[in-house]
A and B are shown apart, each in its own frame.
Chain A
Amino acid sequence: MPSVPKDGAAELGGQYIIAFANEKGGVGKTTSCVNVGAALAQRGLRVLCIDLDPQANLTAALGIPPVEAEAHGLHRFLSRTEMPLAEAVATTDVGNLELLPACPSLAEYEGTLAREPEGTGRLRAKLRRRLSQAGTGPDLVLLDCPPSLGVLTANALVAATHMIVPVTPRLYSLKSMAQLGTLVASLHWEAGATVKLLGILVTLFDENVGLDTTLYRLLKEKIEGEFGDFMFPKPIASSVAISEAEAGGRPVVVRAPKTSAALAYVALGEEVLARLRQDEAGALGSFVGTAAA
């Protein structure tokens, strides 16, 4: 993996696993994951992205060809008992950024995983073991969830320490976010998930559309009124540059770093780091209580 000098200010107190999850498709989970990952990697953090979506959009967005994805692949990492993490990981063109790719075979493996008694905790068990073995493993692991609340999303939420929920300013997207909350609560009870919400990220936002601004304000008022400062301060505007970057197989923060979309994701990466540091100080709250006990 190409190495970039590490920024001392970016160092974190521990290894964090952040899931990008929402049941609704097309809300920007993959785009946010790849660009936050690339932004933080450019900042000097060692980042591992894991593609849990059988559609393998994250894999394509980082320019990994399907043949290589099939050869490595998350399904192999999950199904094989002793496969080292380094063997499953593919390097990318972005310095400090690695990828555990997905391929269509993951969809078949999802069915197998669902039938296993400890299927929802498979990724957590694997990651914990491999990351502790690695010693010099990544600072951040970013999980790109599929657009469903199936066993792969459950694996991600059980394995994650934090989650970011991308939503579009649309009612269905917000309803899906509420559904995700129900799953998180269930996993907390049934599988001992301790994932904390790092923030809600509004994506595909158009400030010139009245519906977008209205729903954004309503959501912000509700979240901040009931739970606190859990909305990321700036929504990500819809941008052609992002789509062009996706087609080119590179994150927009790498392909077009001066575009407003890239700058927005760089700022988001900084905000993610700041919130992780706040969490180290206990600012995000902590509940690892009796639910799973």
Chain B
Amino acid sequence: MRVDHTPTSSAPTATMEVATAEISTPEALTPIRRRGLARAALQQLTVRQLLCWLTDQDPGPSHIPSPAQREAESHAVLAIRELLQSGWCEVWAWQDNRCHPISLDAPVIQVAGREPEIRLDVRSLEDAVRPTKRRRSDLRASELGPLHVTVAEESAAVHESRPQVELMPLAQVEAVVRDPAVRATGGAVKDGAESLGYLRKTDWLRAQFLPEIEVLDFRGLFVGNKGLWILDDRKQHTSGAVNPKQIAYLLLRGNGYRRGGNHVKALMCYQELTELDPSNADFRYLLETTYQAIAAGGSGA
């Protein structure tokens, strides 16, 4: 991470302006915005400033942000503090190939020579995930590696009128920040994943392979156990079978629309899926959740 000692108030970046414009109170922070603010804070703050914020100390005369930027930073630091308290991430300061863990209990580190870099440690996520039996394959790619999606990229679609400032990818910052609500087991994990707007990889795989498995006819294997009926109605069964390619196509389109926020079009896809296979509980579930999303006001076209 590049560390800048110059007062940030003199050259406020678009990142912080966007964050300021979108966030009014800490309670309004969504998980995605919280991650964005955490990254923004890591971009903007030096180690000294971050430590001052975390320990409620005055950052000193060298740090004189504008009121708007100060508000954004305070939200960002609140987000980091919350994440640290929840145990979902660890902050490490790297200096001269040595790392210093930063915790709320003992946030002071010796800063001498070259200014340290700050990293949120990936390993902390894996440790936190292990008890829930979630695996790396279940996580989104963005959660595993360095986060290259900057706040500027997120905000560009929302604030097209603002001039885009090119931000360097955070190559040095390995940030893995999870919403504390997701830290649970079983259904709670799934609920958390759904609230974040994505499906786990296993759910995605299930949706891909379910139509393929459903159409497989294993009845011939059970002729000796159950009786002979396979040859008589095989033709009928095959002709009435749902085309797996069509199922996969509709499912992918529907999921794409849903991820893009176009719940109306997603609903049309899921309705067609339900009509094709009325007995499929997964399709009915997708249809129902999309209805709920539209009812909640998320029907953006």
- State the Cβ distance, B179 to closest chain A Cβ, in Å: 22
* Cα of A193 to Cα of B222 in the assembled complex, Å: 12
The answer to whether B220 and A196 touch across the interface, beta carbons within 8 angstroms, is: no
B189 interface residue per 8 A CB criterion: no
Nearest residue in B to A185 (C-beta to C-beta)?
A: B220
**Cα–Cα distance between A177 and B219 once the two chains are bound (Å):** 10
Q: 0/1 per residue, A274-293, Cβ < 8 Å to B? A: 00000000001111110100
Q: Output the least CB separation between A212 and chain B (Å).
A: 10
A213 contacts B by Cβ under 8 Å: yes
| A185 to B221 alpha-carbon distance, docked (Å) | 7
- Chain A interface main SS type: helix
Given A171-B209, A182-B230, A211-B205: A188 and B224 interface contact (C-beta under 8 Å)? yes
On whether the beta carbons of B202 and A180 are closer than 8 Å, the reply is no
The CA of A287 and the CA of B219, in the complex, are separated in Å by: 13
Residue in contact with B206 in the complex, picked from A181, A200, A218, CB distance below 8 Å:
A218
Instruction: Check: B135 CB closer than 8 A to any chain A CB.
Output: yes
Q: Give the nearest-CB partner of A288 in chain B.
A: B224
Q: How far apart sit A288 and B209, CA to CA, in the bound complex (Å)?
A: 35
Within 8 A of B (CB), among A173-204: 174-175, 177-178, 180-186, 188-189, 193-197, 200
Instruction: Tell me the bound Cα distance from A284 to B135 in angstroms.
Output: 37
- Asked if B214 is at the interface of the complex by the 8 Å CB criterion, the answer is yes
Interface residues on B, range: 20 to 34
Task: Specify which of B209, B218, B225 is in contact with A284 (CB 8 Å cutoff).
Answer: B225
On chain A, the residues within 8 Å of B135 by CB distance are 208, 210
Q: What CA separation (Å) do A184 and B221 show in the bound complex?
A: 6
Please tell me if the beta carbons of A286 and B221 are within 8 angstroms of each other in the complex.
no
**Chain A residues within 8 Å of chain B by Cβ, number:** 44
Tell whether B141 is near chain A: CB-to-CB under 8 Å.
no
Whole-angstrom CA separation of A180 from B206 in the bound complex: 24
Q: Is the CB of A285 within 8 A of B218?
A: no
- The verdict on A287 contacting B218 (CB below 8 Å), with A210-B135, A214-B205 known, is no
- Say yes or no: A210 contacts B138, CB within 8 Å: yes
In the complex, the answer to whether A184 meets B220 with C-beta atoms within 8 Å is: yes
Q: Can you list 15 pairs linking A and B with CB atoms under 8 Å apart?
A: A171-B212, A177-B221, A181-B222, A188-B224, A193-B224, A209-B137, A210-B135, A210-B202, A226-B218, A226-B219, A285-B222, A286-B225, A287-B226, A289-B227, A291-B223
A210-B135, A210-B202 known; 5 new pairs, CB 8 Å cut-off, are A171-B213, A182-B234, A188-B228, A197-B222, A289-B228
Q: Which residues of A contact B (CB under 8 A)?
A: 163, 165, 171, 174-175, 177-178, 180-186, 188-189, 193-197, 200, 208-211, 213-215, 217-219, 222-223, 226-227, 230, 284-289, 291
